[in-house]
Chain A
Amino acid sequence: MCSSDSREAHLEREVVLSKREEISKNLFVLTFETRDPFPRIQPGQFVMLRTSPGLDPLLGRPFAISGVEANRLELLVAVVGRGTRILSSFPPGELLRMRGPLGNGFPLQPGKRVHCLAGTTGIAPFVLAKTEIPGIEVYLGIPGSHWEGLASWASEKIPNLHLYSEDASVGFAGTPLSCIGSLEATVDVVWACGPMGMLKAVHHECERHAIRSWVSLETRMACGIGGCHGCVVQTVNGLRKTCTDGPVFDSREVLWNE
């Protein structure tokens, strides 16, 4: 555990946008720098990033961290609404406020082979995971060739990336789910990040083959620190907060039909 002082020092900081790379339409890799080095970050942890120094947009937006090195941190930002549109339009040099790292990352599995299944931008935590744990296998699924920019970027970052597209335009035809059938329950585990429908499918497919899986959930958030209770999800253990109990959950804990 960190002391209060170090937690305070690490929880919020001013960051400067140092690099903005558009890897395809409405999809950006943003690099931020800050004065002091970031603390150690687990794959699956996230930050809340303000998109304005003023009062509108009001709230920070949660993003999984795709890379960190000393005082530099990288996020994969898809334009999905007003906040991300504003964020992606900033030129390098913009000063923003960042809260985090927050939440719990994917649990390390000593002695197990980890298979990371990503749906489009769900690749972000696994880019970080690959640098931390080189032995993992990473699978990326995209709908089709219009996501090729993401596929190229991820392929550069992740050696031996297993790439799938639903329209068979890039990589293997189909989705990363097809790999689950060949895994072995005693030695393999799955980590997954992507849209809710995909995570649900991953869970059911893993259960069918007795493979343990962990999923990273995405919900609307206001504070990111467990204060507002706005980001709860239904689990077998009652309501849990995505921000502080997650965002990574054992897939068996999540109530998928809610």
Chain B
Amino acid sequence: MSDPVVSPAVSVGKVALRSPLIIASGTWPHEQDYWKDPRCSFVGAACTKALTLHPREGNPGTRLWETPCGLLNSIGLQNPGIDVFLGEDLPKISSGDIGVIANVAMEAAEETAEVLQRLSLYDHLLLAVELNISCPNVDAGGMAWGADPVMAAKAVELARHHWEGPLWVKLTPQCVNIRDVATAAEAAGADALVVANTWLGMAIDPLSERPVFSRRFAGLSGPAIFPLALRLVWEVSSAVQIPVIGCGGISRTEDVLSMMLAGASAVAIGTAHFTELSCFRSIGRELLEHLAAKGYSSPMDLIGKGKEEHGRIP
């Protein structure tokens, strides 16, 4: 008997991906080379940097601070605005080998509506919109939308109204009960949930005796947060029927397996490729080897399998 052939392809709702490895928003250059193979071998899709209606400069001062197994960032949604993105970036990145997921930063309702209307004219070039109700590094909007189920539902309803394609919603860990926010987003029309964004942290420089970041608090990513994100993926995927994309500190093949066993249909990887661009290829190969050794034919066979004995979480 021959070994079963394992395909890395997965689907997240109606979105078909050639692998479950997605490049997380805010981490990948909008340069054509980076959206083509072999740079993208084993990448299923990539999220753009967060997009806003008008250009945003982002935050002044220090933007990066390394921590043990982690990285604090305070970028502040720097982007050239939706028009420059559509005119200059999208033609370049959408001609590559991987699908484009447009990350839209939730701002005031009218602004986000306008961004989504403009993106709708280009929906044939986009796999999905990822509505970002979770950015910790801006004053207005951002994670304020994702901290509360009522606000989250409002944001998702608005997005649903102006964007007909697949709508993914990126949740924040900075909320009282992420299951409530998740079910509210699902009820409001989300097609998938990305769990989660960075954890709010801070750093103080002992030499200057002041906070490192001008906004004082910043978002923590990297392997340090992986167990925290894994717990949220388990909880959210137990609470909703729509697919969940695991995001937070995924650095190794074992992390991808754990996320999918916890209930993720795919995973987003960001900080890990800052240190090794070939991580997608190595994780992809090891994932296929693992699946073949276990006798699975698809990564989708893993989704939620870790919960089988536990049943539904009360």
**Residues of chain A whose beta carbon lies under 8 Å from any beta carbon of chain B:** 4-5, 7-8, 11-12, 50, 55-60, 83, 97, 99, 220-223, 225-232, 238-239, 244, 258
Contact = CB atoms under 8 A, between A and B. Distances in A.
A56 B66 CA distance: 10
Chain A facing B: main interface SS = loop
Contacts of A12: 276-278
B165 interface: no
Contacts, number: 92
Given A223-B274, A239-B78, A58 B70 contact: yes
A226 B65 CA distance: 17
B296 interface: no
A225 B73 CA distance: 16
Interface string B220-250: 0011000000000000000000000000000
Contacts of B34: 225, 227
Contacts of A231: 63-64
Given A4-B33, A97-B276, A226-B29, A57 B57 contact: no
16 contacts: A4-B33, A4-B36, A5-B38, A7-B33, A12-B277, A55-B222, A56-B68, A58-B70, A59-B71, A220-B65, A223-B274, A227-B27, A231-B63, A231-B64, A232-B78, A238-B57
Interface residues of B, number: 37
Nearest to B26: A228
A220 B64 contact: yes
Given A230-B63, A239-B78, A58 B73 contact: no
A153 B284 CA distance: 46
Nearest to B68: A56
A225 to B, nearest CB: 6
A197 B271 CA distance: 31
Given A220-B62, A229-B49, A8 B274 contact: no
Contacts of B66: 57-59, 83
A232 B58 contact: yes
Contacts of A58: 66, 69-71, 222-223, 271, 274-275
A255 B222 CA distance: 32
B70 A230 contact: no
A55 B277 CA distance: 15
B305 interface: no
Given A8-B38, A228-B26, A232-B78, A59 B274 contact: yes
A8 B27 contact: no
Given A55-B223, A56-B69, A220-B63, A239 B277 contact: no
A227 B28 contact: yes
Given A58-B66, A227-B274, A229-B49, A8 B39 contact: yes
Nearest to B62: A220
A231 B71 CA distance: 14
B29 A225 contact: yes
A4 B276 contact: no
